[in-house]
Amino acid sequence: MLEGEFNGANVFVNVITNGNKVCRIAVTDIASEDERSIQIRFNNLLRQFENNSKYLPISDNNQLSDSEDLSYEINVNKKRYEANFYQRPVTMADKEKWQNTVMARMIEMFATTIAEKYTEEELANPTKELIDDYDNMMVRAAIDIISKKHVWFMISNYAGKYYISMFYDNEYNRADGEDL
């Protein structure tokens, strides 16, 4: 566990590995905050991610309202406050790697779905259905690739005090049963 400053806060940084490859970086506040302060911090962090072109929101990540009773919702209703994003490729090398990976995934999907579903004649004279299948396959391949770089943060609670825990996941380096 390392200790340092991240985005203006003193934090612990944990590097989680699988087979000597980093699969997660966990960043957790050292100092806890009261309920109102953590709401403000969560909303500020959410805005920072939404306004940063390096990240793409996974779903609707909503700001916390001033009237939200975090203590009640977390302790009684077991509600979890989190925001989720994907990392976009940012450098040209990342973009090229991403495009190559998407192309490789599309070729793999094509070989196992489109080529099995349609005859050579249908592929030579594509119908709207085939074109739609192909377009959907491209979208699924892109989502499959980009989802491997998940970034998310949440409000954690311990003894009535709150802190932010943030995770940078690299699913390419996760265990996939190879050790079984």
Q: What is the pTM of this model?
A: 0.73
Residue 180: inside a domain: no
Q: Pick the residue with more confidence: 69 or 172?
A: 69
- Residues 123 and 168 both lie in one domain: no
- Residues 157 and 140 both lie in one domain: no
- Residues 55 and 7 both lie in one domain: yes
Residue 179: inside a domain: no
User: Residue 105 above 90 pLDDT?
Assistant: no
- Residues 7 and 80 both lie in one domain: yes
Mean pLDDT of 127-153: 81
List the domain range (segments joined by +) for residue 47.
2-89+149-173
Q: pLDDT-derived band of residue 126, with 50, 70 and 90 as boundaries?
A: confident
Residue 9: inside a domain: yes
- The 10 Å Cβ neighbour count of residue 23 is 17
- Residues 39 and 110 both lie in one domain: no
Q: Pick the residue with more confidence: 52 or 117?
A: 52
Residue 23: inside a domain: yes
Using only C-alpha atoms, the chain has a radius of gyration, in whole angstroms, of 21
- Residues 98 and 80 both lie in one domain: no
CA distance linking residue 101 with residue 99, whole number of Å: 5
Query: What is the pLDDT, as a whole number, of residue 82?
Result: 95
How many folded domains does the chain comprise?
2
Q: pLDDT-derived band of residue 91, with 50, 70 and 90 as boundaries?
A: low
Identify the residue whose tokens are 């770089």.
149
Residue 133: inside a domain: yes
- Residues 75 and 164 both lie in one domain: yes
User: Residue 110 above 80 pLDDT?
Assistant: no
Residue 76: inside a domain: yes
- Residues 119 and 135 both lie in one domain: yes
Residue 178: inside a domain: no
| CA dihedral angle for residue 43, residue 47, residue 48, residue 52, rounded to 10 degrees | 160
Mean pLDDT for all residues in the chain: 85
- Residues 45 and 27 both lie in one domain: yes
- Residues 80 and 11 both lie in one domain: yes
* Model confidence pLDDT, tens digit, residues 36-79: 999 999 999 999 999 998 888 887 888 999 999 999 999 899 99
Q: Pick the residue with more confidence: 139 or 7?
A: 7
- Residues 9 and 80 both lie in one domain: yes
Q: Is 29 exposed, middle or buried (0-12, 13-18, 19+ CB in 10 A)?
A: buried
What are the φ and ψ backbone dihedral angles of 166, each rounded to 5 degrees? -125, 145
Q: Are 164 and 153 in contact (CB under 8 A)?
A: yes
Q: pLDDT-derived band of residue 95, with 50, 70 and 90 as boundaries?
A: low
- Residues 116 and 165 both lie in one domain: no
Between the CA of residue 68 and those of 32, 65, 88, 158, what are the distances in Å? 19, 5, 31, 18
